[in-house]
Amino acid sequence: VPVFLFVAAPYIRRYVAGGRCKSTARLEGKVVIITGANTGIGKETARDLAQRGKVIIACRDIAKGEAAASEIRAETGNQQVIVKKLDLADTKSIREFAEKFLAEEKELHILINNAGVMLCPYSKTADGFEMHLGVNHLGHFLLTFLLLERLKQSAPARIVNVSSLAHHGGRIRFHDLHGEKSYNRGLAYCHSKLANVLFTRELARRLQGNAMGTKVTANALHPGSVYSELVRHSFVMTWLWKIFSFFLKTPCEGAQTSIYCAVAKELDSVTGQYFSDCQPAYVSPRGRDDETAKKLWSVSCELLGIQWD
């Protein structure tokens, strides 16, 4: 068996690595925002896109963000890698980030909603939302709402939502959105990733809604099972991740589909889709439920106190 593993190892690794983004598209004069780009696949997405254009790293931990940015600047020679404070667990911080961005930048071409939490013990955001739903869905929903006009003005533009295969295990529990009646941290993550898929679907439908369309696309993706800090809230998962790291994608491999959705020319007019390994992937029946998507949209607006028609 050890001999077999030794021989098979390169092939196993190649299979695990999955698809690679082969696009050489440049982003000169373009502006990209990536949330949570101080670590993991967000950082690797920023590293790649910084070789193409201007990147804004939007993250909660400014010190980690600056460390990542200076590493990327040194490696790419691009000084246009900027760190801005954004805490997706606090709508006040989201509004402040958007306000500053809109005052400083006249254009926005790519918004990558990448940041996420996973397997958190039960907790709530500053606004009283269950943490997974609040950060993974509602935080990005509000951020996209606040930046959408700038994306439309800069069109063609793209919105990329990092979801997960875990959406297959999710349900939108409208009767208990914040997990106050029953809570399971694994399922809470799945629910929030399903919300990402449904948000993408409804957003794409609305952006295409008028006769002309807006030339702003919205797509979601599964990055793969990635060896990253995302499982830090679970001792068991952290331990398992270490043991099976050989069978997990590296953050660089996990970033490929995000990069693909952000830059690939063949996706110029593709919207409302879900990708994995740089190709279209299967969406669960719940992720294709338009009625649930519409209801989630209106409930999200209600919770955030916004009107988004």
pLDDT value at residue 19: 85
**Does residue 19 sit within a domain?**
no
Q: How confident is the model at residue 1 (pLDDT cuts 50, 70, 90)?
A: very low
Tokens 């690797």 appear where? 44
How many structural domains compose the chain? 1
Is 15 part of a structural domain of the chain?
no
Residue 25, SS3? coil
275: pLDDT strictly greater than 60? yes
φ, ψ dihedrals at 118, nearest 5°: -145, 135
**Cβ contacts of residue 5 below 8 Å, gap of 6+?**
none
Q: How many other C-beta atoms can be found within 10 angstroms of the C-beta atom of residue 128?
A: 9
Query: 156 preceded by cis ω (within 30°)?
Result: yes
pLDDT surpasses 60 at 15: no
Say how many CA atoms lie within 13 Å of 228 toward its Cβ.
Answer: 25
- Residue 18 confidence (pLDDT): 79
Per-residue tokens: 283: 């969406």
Has residue 129 been placed in a domain? yes
Name the percent of the chain lying above pLDDT 70. Answer: 86
Q: Does 11 participate in catalysis according to the annotation?
A: no
Assigned domain for 6 exists: no
At residue 230, the pLDDT reads 53
Task: Report which of 152, 176, 156 is spatially closest to residue 299, judged by C-alpha positions.
Answer: 176
Structural domain contains residue 169 = yes
pLDDT of 168 reads 97
Phi, psi of 79 (to 5 degrees): -80, -10
Q: Calculate the alpha carbon distances from 176 to 111, 171, 173, 188 in Å.
A: 30, 11, 5, 11
Q: How many CA atoms lie within 13 A of 38 on its CB side?
A: 18
Which phi and psi angles does 8 have, rounded to 5°? -80, -20
Give phi and psi for 27, each to the nearest 5: -125, 35
pLDDT tens digits, residue range 154-166? 999 999 999 999 9
The Cα 18–Cα 266 span in angstroms is: 19
Cα–Cα distance measured from residue 164 to residue 76, given in angstroms and rounded to the nearest whole number: 29
pTM for the predicted model, two decimal places: 0.91
Q: Which of 189, 227, 260, 274 is catalytic?
A: 189
**pLDDT tens track for 31-42:** 999 999 999 999
Q: How confident is the model at residue 307 (pLDDT cuts 50, 70, 90)?
A: very high
What's the CA gap between 111 and 230, in Å, rounded?
Answer: 21
105, 147 in Cβ contact below 8 A?
no
Rounded to an integer, the average pLDDT of 189-199 is: 98
Query: Is 239 part of a structural domain of the chain?
Result: yes
pLDDT tens track for 230-267: 555 555 655 554 555 555 778 899 999 999 999 999 99
The rounded distance, in Å, linking the Cα atoms of 154 and 35 is 19
Q: Is the pLDDT of residue 219 over 70?
A: yes
- For residue 125, give the CATH number of its domain: 3.40.50.720
Among residues 61, 37, 60, the alpha carbon closest in space to that of 50 is found at 37
Domain containing 223 equals: 25-304
Q: How many CA atoms lie within 13 A of 116 on its CB side?
A: 28
Residue scoring higher pLDDT (62 or 4): 62
